[in-house]
Amino acid sequence: MNLKDKDLQYVLDWIAIQELVAEYGQAIDFGRDTGDWSRWANVFTPHVTADYTRFRGGGDPSYLTREELAEFGRASLVPFSKVQHATATSVRIRFKSSTLAEVMAYAEVAHYFTLGGIQQEWTIIARYTHEVEKTPDGWKIRKVLLDPIHYRGNPLGLELVNGKRLV
Whether residue 167 is contained in a domain is answered as no
- 138: Cβ–Cβ under 8 A, 6 or more apart, which residues? 16, 20
What are the start-end ranges of the H helices in 1-154? 8-34, 38-41, 53-56, 66-76
116 is a domain residue = yes
Structural domain contains residue 166: no
Residue 112 belongs to domain with CATH number = 3.10.450.50
Does residue 59 lie in a domain region? Answer: yes
Q: CB–CB of 123/27 below 8 Å?
A: no
pLDDT digits (tens, 9 = 90+) for 118-154: 999 999 999 999 999 999 999 999 999 999 999 999 9
Q: Which domain holds residue 9?
A: 3-161
Residue 151 lies inside a defined structural domain of this protein: yes
Query: In this model, does residue 162 exceed pLDDT 90?
Result: no
Domain count, the chain: 1
- Residue 89 falls within a domain, yes or no? yes
